[in-house]
C-alpha cells in the first residue's frame, strides 16, 4: 500500500470527504496548508514537479476507506519469529501463522491513521468481521471472526516473543482424554499398542476381542474426578483409537515392525560425513547387488566400485557372488585409476574372504569393513547402485522390476493362460547375454554417469572433477597385478618344500632353486596346470618356479637330472665359504686347546689357603711305607762317587727299557703290517706268479680315514693301528689327501 500520493492519484481513489478532481484536491491542499507540513509533503521524484502528500493528511473517513481498500491480510514473506517448535502440530502451526498475519495487518492498518488505539482496534475488527478487508482465504477459514480482546492478546504474545503460544490445535487439546486412552489407568491403551506392534494387521474387531479377553467386558474410567465402570466400547471406538495410536506412535511402530524401513527413512543419518575425502583414490567403496534384469544365462550380480572424491564408478558383472569377482573388480579399477589408499566394504563372504584380504595386503591397501546390517556406512556405493538400477534397468530387455510388486505387475501384462508353460526368459523377453550386458553397463558408466552433474560435487561432473585433480595415481604393472590375482594352492597357499618338491593336489612340483625344509607361499598359474610360483611366506619375495613334470609334458628323468645339477650348484655355492672357514679351523690349534684356554681365562685368579690335614693310616699303608722307607726317606746321604754310580745305573736301565719298548712296538707294527698285507693279497691265487702291488698313498689315506671313523664310533681298534694312525695324521701325505677329500667329497674315496 502506498503511503504517499499526488493530487491526481488522490482524486482517482474517490475517497469520502475528498474532492474527485485533481484541481479540487490541489485547492483543498492550499486551503488546509498541506504544503507547509514538511514531514507530510514532499516533491515527487522524477519529471513533472508535482507534490506528494502523506495519507495521514486525509480526513479520518477518507483514511479508513483508503486503508480498507488497500490493506491485505496475509502471511508476511519473512515473518519475524524464532525457529518453529517441532512440538506444534500442522494445525497449530497454521493457527499461529494466521494470527500473526492478522496482527501484522493491524499494525500496517494503524500506521497512518491519526486515531486512538481503541478507535483503531474497533474500526479494524468491525471491518474484518464485515468482510470488507482484503483477506487471504486460508486466514478466513481458520479465524472467521475477530474480537478486540483476542487481537490485543495476540499483540501482547507477539511482543513478548511467545510466538508459539499463538498456535492452537483443538484436536491436540483433546488428545489423551478418550475413553480407551484413559481406561484402567492407561493399561488398555498400552495393551492395544503392544498388540499392533506384534501384529500390525489386527483389525478393530480383533483388538476389541483381545481386550475383552484381557480386561473383561467392563472398563474403569475417570470422568471429572469420579471413577466409573462402563461397558466395553463398540468396534468403531476401537478403530478411532487404533488410528490415533498408529499416528502418535508412528516411529516406534515402524522401528518394531519394519526395521529396514526405519533404517532407510527414519534412523539418524549424517550428511557430509566424507567431506574430508578430497583426493582421488583416497577412499573407495565397493558393494554388489543382483541386477534387476535377466540374461540368457540367468541373473547376474553387479559389483560396483566408486571413488568417493570424484564419484567415478567401475562395474563388473558376475554370475555368482565370489571373491574372484571382487579381485577382478579391483584389477579393473586399479588399471583405470591407480591404487587406492583405503577400500571400504561390508561383511559379505566375498569381501572378507582370505583371497580378498590377501590381495589388499599385497597391494598395500587398507581394508575397512562396515558394521553388520549398517548399509548407511557405505551409502555412496549403495546410492550409485540404486541409480544404476533405476536408470539402466528399465531400458534392458529382461527387466524384472525393482521389487516383488514390480515383478508381479510385469508378469500381469500377460494373462495366466499366456504365461502357462513359459519360462522366465519367455515371460520377460530375455535376449541379452552376460557379456552384452557388461558392455551396456560399461558404456553407461563412461558416457552417461561420469558426465552427469553431481550434487555432491557442487554440480560438477565426475569426469571434470577427476580431470582437475593434480594428484599422481599410483600405478601397478599389469603382469604383476595378474600374478597377485592367481589362485593359491589349497586353502591358504602354505606349503613346505621337501626333497621331492612341493605337493599340490596329489602332484609333486619340483623346486630345484629352493632348499628342502623351506616354508613357502604358492600361487597356481591358471593358464598352465603344471606350473606354480613359490614366494616367501609373507609373499614379499619370489623364490622360484615350481614345475610338475606330469602336468607340464616334460620327461621326469630330464627334469630330475636338471634339478640335481641346479641343486648341486646351489649347494656348492652356499657351502664354498663354509668349507673355507672349516679349513681355517682345522689348520689352527685343536678345539680342546682353544676351549681350555678360554676356561683358563675364565677361571678365578685365587690361590686357596692350605687346610689342616689328618694322617690316615692302615696296617697295609704302614707296611708299604716301611718297604719304601729307604727310597722315600733316606736316612743317610750317599757319597758323591756312590751317587754318580747310582745315576749311571738308572740311566742305563732307562735306555734298556726304552730300547726294549721300541723293539716290542716295532715288532707289533710289523706284525700288524703283515696282517694288513695278508688281507690285501688274500684274494690272489697262491700258485700263480701274480705279485700284489705295494700300498699306494691314496690307499693309506683311505685306510686312515675309515680307521678314524671306527675310533670316533667307539668301535674296538688294534692298539698298533691306533699308534700308526696317530703318526700318519701328522704327515704331509695325510694332509694333502685330506684337502683333496674335502674338495671333491666322498667320491674321492671311491
- pLDDT tens digit sequence for 97-145: 888 888 888 887 777 666 778 887 888 888 888 877 777 788 888 888 8
311 domain residue, yes or no: yes
Is the per-residue pLDDT at 84 higher than 60? no
Is the per-residue pLDDT at 312 higher than 90? yes
Domain termination residue (choose one: 570, 601, 620)? 570
**Closest among 57, 137, 73 to 105, alpha carbons compared:** 73
Is the per-residue pLDDT at 169 higher than 70? no
Mean pLDDT over 233-241 rounds to 91
Is the per-residue pLDDT at 644 higher than 70? no
Verify that 379 and 440 share a domain, yes or no.
yes
Rg of the chain (C-alpha set): 56
43 grid coordinates:
516533491
Verify that 381 and 513 share a domain, yes or no.
no
Is the per-residue pLDDT at 271 higher than 60? no
Verify that 200 and 245 share a domain, yes or no.
yes
Number of domains making up the chain: 6
Q: Which domain holds residue 225?
A: 176-265
740 domain residue, yes or no: yes
The whole-number pLDDT of residue 96 equals 84
* Contacts of 109 by beta carbon, 8 Å cutoff, 6+ apart: 67, 71, 120, 124
Verify that 315 and 449 share a domain, yes or no.
yes
Distance CA 376, CA 97 (A): 37
Mean pLDDT over 477-505 rounds to 84
Is the per-residue pLDDT at 80 higher than 50? no
Helix (H, G, I), strand (E, B) or coil at 390: helix
How many helices (H) and strands (E) would you count in the chain?
A: 33, 18
Verify that 40 and 54 share a domain, yes or no.
yes
Other CB atoms within 10 Å distance of the CB of residue 637: 8
Verify that 674 and 547 share a domain, yes or no.
no
Read off the CATH number of the domain in which 349 is found. 3.30.420.10
Which burial class, exposed, middle or buried, applies to 250 when counting CB atoms under 10 A from its CB (0-12, 13-18, 19+)? Answer: exposed
Are residues 479 and 542 in contact, defined by beta-carbon separation less than 8 angstroms?
no
| Of the candidate ranges 198-207, 369-378, 432-441, 668-677, the one whose mean pLDDT is the lowest | 668-677
Verify that 27 and 167 share a domain, yes or no.
no
690 grid coordinates:
701274480
210 domain residue, yes or no: yes
109 domain residue, yes or no: yes
Is the per-residue pLDDT at 668 higher than 70? no
The whole-number pLDDT of residue 630 equals 47
627 domain residue, yes or no: no
Is the per-residue pLDDT at 385 higher than 90? yes
Read off the CATH number of the domain in which 33 is found. 1.10.10.10
The whole-number pLDDT of residue 78 equals 43
The whole-number pLDDT of residue 447 equals 93
The whole-number pLDDT of residue 409 equals 72
Verify that 442 and 499 share a domain, yes or no.
no
The whole-number pLDDT of residue 82 equals 47
Domain termination residue (choose one: 143, 172, 201)? 172
615 domain residue, yes or no: no
Verify that 279 and 348 share a domain, yes or no.
yes
Are residues 444 and 392 in contact, defined by beta-carbon separation less than 8 angstroms?
yes
Mean pLDDT over 588-615 rounds to 77
Mean pLDDT over 306-335 rounds to 89
142 domain residue, yes or no: yes
598 domain residue, yes or no: no
Q: Higher model confidence: residue 262 or residue 291? A: 291
Domain termination residue (choose one: 205, 230, 265)? 265
Report the share of the chain in percent with pLDDT over 70: 80
Looking at every residue in the chain, the average pLDDT score rounds to 79
Mean pLDDT over 277-291 rounds to 92
Verify that 440 and 304 share a domain, yes or no.
yes
- pLDDT tens digit sequence for 322-375: 888 898 899 899 999 999 999 999 888 888 888 888 888 888 899 999 888 788
The whole-number pLDDT of residue 81 equals 47
Is the per-residue pLDDT at 418 higher than 60? no
Mean pLDDT over 273-280 rounds to 85
Verify that 344 and 448 share a domain, yes or no.
yes
| Of the candidate ranges 289-298, 525-534, 558-567, 731-740, the one whose mean pLDDT is the lowest | 558-567
The whole-number pLDDT of residue 721 equals 80
Verify that 374 and 338 share a domain, yes or no.
yes
744 grid coordinates:
671333491
Amino acid at each position: 500500500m502506498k503511503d504517499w500520493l499526488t493530487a491526481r492519484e488522490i482524486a482517482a481513489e474517490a475517497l469520502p470527504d475528498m474532492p474527485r478532481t485533481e484541481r479540487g484536491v490541489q485547492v483543498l491542499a492550499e486551503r488546509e496548508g498541506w504544503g507547509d507540513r514538511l514531514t507530510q509533503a514532499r516533491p515527487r521524484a522524477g519529471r513533472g514537479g508535482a507534490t506528494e502528500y502523506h495519507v495521514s493528511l486525509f480526513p479520518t473517513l477518507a483514511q479508513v476507506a483508503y486503508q480498507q481498500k488497500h490493506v491485505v491480510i496475509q502471511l508476511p514473506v519473512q515473518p519475524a519469529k524464532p525457529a518453529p517448535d517441532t512440538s506444534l502440530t500442522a494445525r497449530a502451526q497454521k493457527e499461529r501463522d494466521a494470527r500473526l498475519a492478522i496482527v501484522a495487518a493491524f499494525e500496517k492498518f494503524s500506521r497512518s491513521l491519526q486515531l486512538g488505539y481503541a478507535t483503531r482496534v474497533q474500526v479494524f475488527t468491525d471491518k474484518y468481521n464485515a468482510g470488507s478487508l482484503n483477506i487471504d482465504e486460508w486466514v478466513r477459514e481458520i479465524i472467521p471472526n475477530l474480537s478486540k480482546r483476542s487481537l490485543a492478546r495476540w499483540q501482547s504474545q507477539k511482543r513478548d516473543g511467545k510466538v508459539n503460544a499463538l498456535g492452537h490445535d483443538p484436536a491436540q487439546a483433546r488428545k489423551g482424554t478418550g475413553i480407551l486412552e484413559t481406561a484402567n489407568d492407561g493399561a488398555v491403551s498400552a495393551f492395544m499398542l503392544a498388540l499392533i506392534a506384534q501384529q500390525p494387521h489386527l483389525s478393530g474387531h480383533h483388538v476389541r476381542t483381545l481386550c475383552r479377553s484381557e480386561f473383561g467386558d467392563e472398563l474403569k474410567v475417570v470422568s471429572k474426578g469420579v471413577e466409573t465402570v462402563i461397558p466395553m466400547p463398540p468396534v468403531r471406538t476401537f478403530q478411532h483409537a487404533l488410528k490415533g495410536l498408529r499416528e502418535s506412535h508412528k516411529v516406534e511402530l515402524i522401528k518394531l515392525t519394519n526395521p529396514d524401513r526405519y533404517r532407510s527413512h527414519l534412523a539418524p543419518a549424517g550428511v557430509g560425513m566424507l567431506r574430508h575425502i578430497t583426493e582421488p583414490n583416497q577412499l573407495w567403496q565397493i558393494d554388489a547387488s543382483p541386477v534387476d534384469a535377466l540374461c540368457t544365462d540367468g541373473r547376474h550380480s553387479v559389483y560396483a566400485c566408486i571413488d568417493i572424491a570424484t564419484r567415478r564408478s567401475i562395474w563388473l558383472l558376475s554370475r555368482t557372488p565370489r571373491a574372484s569377482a571382487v579381485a577382478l573388480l579391483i584389477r579393473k579399477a586399479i588399471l583405470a585409476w591407480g591404487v587406492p589408499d583405503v577400500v571400504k566394504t561390508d561383511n559379505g563372504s566375498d569381501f572378507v574372504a582370505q583371497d580378498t584380504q590377501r590381495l589388499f595386503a599385497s597391494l598395500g591397501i587398507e581394508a575397512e569393513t562396515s558394521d553388520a546390517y549398517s548399509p548407511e556406512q557405505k551409502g555412496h556405493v549403495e546410492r550409485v547402485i540404486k541409480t544404476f538400477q533405476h536408470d539402466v534397468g528399465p531400458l534392458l530387455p529382461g527387466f524384472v522390476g525393482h521389487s516383488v510388486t514390480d515383478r508381479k505387475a510385469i508378469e500381469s501384462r500377460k494373462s495366466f493362460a499366456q504365461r502357462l508353460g513359459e519360462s522366465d526368459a519367455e515371460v520377460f523377453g530375455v535376449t541379452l547375454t552376460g557379456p552384452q550386458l557388461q558392455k551396456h553397463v560399461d558404456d553407461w558408466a563412461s558416457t552417461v554417469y561420469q558426465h552427469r552433474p553431481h550434487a555432491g560435487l557442487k554440480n560438477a561432473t565426475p569426469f571434470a572433477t577427476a580431470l582437475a585433480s593434480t594428484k599422481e595415481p599410483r600405478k601397478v604393472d599389469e603382469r604383476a597385478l595378474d600374478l597377485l590375482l592367481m589362485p593359491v594352492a589349497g586353502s591358504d597357499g602354505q606349503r613346505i618344500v621337501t626333497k621331492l618338491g612341493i605337493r599340490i593336489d596329489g602332484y609333486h612340483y619340483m623346486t630345484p632353486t629352493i632348499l628342502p625344509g623351506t616354508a613357502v607361499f604358492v600361487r597356481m598359474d591358471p593358464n598352465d596346470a603344471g606350473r606354480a610360483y613359490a614366494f616367501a611366506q609373507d609373499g614379499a619375495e619370489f623364490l622360484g618356479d615350481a614345475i610338475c613334470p606330469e602336468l607340464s609334458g616334460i620327461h621326469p628323468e630330464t627334469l630330475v637330472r636338471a634339478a640335481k645339477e641346479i641343486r648341486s650348484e646351489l649347494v656348492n655355492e652356499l657351502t664354498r665359504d663354509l668349507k673355507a672357514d672349516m679349513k681355517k679351523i682345522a689348520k689352527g690349534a685343536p678345539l680342546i686347546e682353544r676351549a681350555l684356554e678360554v676356561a683358563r681365562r675364565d677361571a678365578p685368579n685365587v690361590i686357596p689357603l692350605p687346610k689342616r690335614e689328618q694322617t690316615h693310616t692302615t696296617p697295609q699303608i704302614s707296611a708299604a711305607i716301611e718297604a719304601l722307607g729307604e727310597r722315600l726317606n733316606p736316612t743317610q746321604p750317599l757319597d758323591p762317587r756312590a751317587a754318580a754310580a747310582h745315576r749311571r745305573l738308572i740311566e742305563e736301565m732307562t735306555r734298556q727299557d726304552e730300547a726294549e719298548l721300541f723293539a716290542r712296538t716295532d715288532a707289533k707294527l710289523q706284525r700288524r703290517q703283515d696282517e694288513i698285507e695278508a688281507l690285501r693279497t688274500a684274494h690272489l691265487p697262491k700258485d700263480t706268479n701274480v705279485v700284489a702291488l705295494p700300498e699306494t698313498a691314496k690307499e693309506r689315506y683311505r685306510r686312515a680315514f675309515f680307521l678314524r671313523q671306527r675310533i670316533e664310533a667307539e668301535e674296538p681298534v688294534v692298539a698298533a693301528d691306533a699308534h700308526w694312525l696317530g703318526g700318519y695324521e701328522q704327515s704331509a701325505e695325510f694332509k694333502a689327501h685330506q684337502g683333496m677329500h674335502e674338495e671333491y667329497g666322498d667320491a674321492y674315496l671311491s
